[in-house]
């Protein structure tokens, strides 16, 4: 295993090429555009500020009064290492998460590709929004993510019998 000094030298060398910064800015620029598009399209959603993360994941969340009253929210997540977008049903705390995880597990998963990565303590349920995004046509990517997100939101809303 490399020492911290060795890791930082590798990091600095990669940054000197300039490509990491350009990709990072591109990802965040797109996430800002996606967030703005969802705010415009769904004015009844409460949309959080953007969380940049530690080059592991970046996200913003969507919620409504009904979800918020239950201590829940939907996170739109970009996973940097996977290079993929996911939606996560998340909770305000671990107790709320356990309650809804148990409830949703009993309810089955239906046709939507819902899953739960047991190592992900931040999510109750996850759904792939786009596992291989192309950032070249951002309007098309926004539409693809929006369509998958709508299905996820509807599925969660139906399972919890709430209006989203």
> Are the beta carbons of 87 and 149 closer than 8 angstroms?
yes
| pLDDT bracket for residue 107 (50, 70, 90) | low
Q: From edge to edge, which strands make up the β-sheet containing 46-47?
A: 46-47, 57-63, 72-79, 84-91, 125-130, 114-115
Q: If you average pLDDT over residues 12-18, what whole number do you get?
A: 95
How far apart, in whole angstroms, are the C-alpha atoms of residue 153 and residue 52? 23
**Contact, 88 vs 137, CB < 8 A?**
no
pLDDT value for 159: 85
pTM attached to this predicted model: 0.90
DSSP 51: B
pLDDT band at 161 (very low <50, low <70, confident <90, very high): confident
Tell whether the model's pLDDT for residue 111 goes beyond 90: no
User: Rounded CA gap, 155 and 109, in Å?
Assistant: 9
Residue 113 has pLDDT above 80, yes or no: no
């Amino acid at each position: 295993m490399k020492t911290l000094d060795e890791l930082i030298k590798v990091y600095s060398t990669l940054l000197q090429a300039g490509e990491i910064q350009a990709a990072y800015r591109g990802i965040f620029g797109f996430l800002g555009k996606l967030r703005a598009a969802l705010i415009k399209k769904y004015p009844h959603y409460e949309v959080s500020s953007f969380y940049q993360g530690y080059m592991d994941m970046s996200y913003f969340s969507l919620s409504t009064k009904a979800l918020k009253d239950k201590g829940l929210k939907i996170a739109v997540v970009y996973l940097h290492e996977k290079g993929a977008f996911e939606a996560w049903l998340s909770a305000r705390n671990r107790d709320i998460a356990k309650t809804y995880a148990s409830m949703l597990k009993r309810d089955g998963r239906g046709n939507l590709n819902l899953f739960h990565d047991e190592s992900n303590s931040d999510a109750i349920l996850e759904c792939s929004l786009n596992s291989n995004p192309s950032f070249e046509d951002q309007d098309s990517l926004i539409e693809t993510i929006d369509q998958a997100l709508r299905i996820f939101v509807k599925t969660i809303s139906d399972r919890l019998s709430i209006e989203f």
